[in-house]
Chains A and B, each alone.
Chain A
């Protein structure tokens, strides 16, 4: 434990200080802008579809866009620039599945693509499902 603390203090001098305000403002404006785009799309879908189906259609459009952008290699640069403005959205999940599958393509179709697809995104899925199941049972017993 003391070794770890010493290492952290020694390394801290050489690390660049993150610029908190600039990064947060970038994430704020990009996340908010994407939310407004989603809201406009929902208003368009809402004309013909019921409420839940319209929301699902908008999310499917975002997922499709994230997968296509990952496939042509643009998403990485956008994600580097936007920070949490893109990684906190549902597009992070689509990007993590697609990039893991692409990365392990060379190991084969079964053990490469299918086996490694949930390498990063599976963590969010595991915690979400466990928490939802337990909280659902607690909700029923109330």
Chain B
């Protein structure tokens, strides 16, 4: 059952984004919009519910990235200006570090194709 909800939530996000791209917007605008939607819904508490029912179907799209940015800030015990700045990367830091390190060594080793 959770696989079906993951399939439909992940698929609906991607299908709707494809409609927006075909209609008017460019790809980078839609990605940024998706991240902002994840941040806003995460602050309102809607995205917690979506992750509960869909699991990775809600975390794998870029809105899950925005959701983890805001969740790192608000799901802590100390809530002040300095802690907010320190906790932005608390959950997504591992992904960003992995991406930077992997792409650096990939660019060192490989030659570009095409």
**Chain A residues at the B interface, C-beta cutoff of 8 Å:** 18, 20, 23-36, 38-42, 52, 55-56, 58-60, 62-64, 67, 70-73, 76, 83-85, 87-90, 92-94, 97-98, 101-103, 105, 109, 113-114, 117, 120, 123-125, 127-129, 131-133, 135-140
Contact = CB atoms under 8 A, between A and B. Distances in A.
A128 B66 contact: yes
Interface of B: 2-3, 6-19, 21-23, 27-28, 30-32, 34-36, 39-40, 43, 54-57, 59-62, 64-66, 69-70, 72-74, 79-81, 84-85, 88, 91, 94-96, 98-100, 102-104, 106-114
B56 A20 contact: no
A8 to B, nearest CB: 12
A39 to B, nearest CB: 4
B36 A127 contact: yes
B69 A71 contact: no
Interface centre among B14, B36, B65, B109, by most chain A C-beta atoms within 10 angstroms, is: B14
B68 to A, nearest CB: 9
A138 B42 CA distance: 13
A76 B30 CA distance: 19
Given A20-B22, A35-B9, A136 B74 contact: yes
A55 B107 contact: no
Nearest to B36: A131
Main secondary structure of the interface of B (DSSP, over half): helix
A58 to B, nearest CB: 6
A132 B70 contact: yes
A28 B103 contact: no
B56 A94 contact: no
A101 B60 CA distance: 23
Given A58-B56, A136-B84, A124 B32 contact: yes
**Which 10 A-B residue pairs are closest in the complex by CB-CB distance?**
A31-B14, A35-B10, A32-B11, A136-B73, A73-B113, A28-B15, A38-B56, A84-B18, A101-B107, A27-B18
A38 to B, nearest CB: 4
Contact of B65 (A93, A103, A123): A93
Nearest to B76: A136
B32 to A, nearest CB: 5
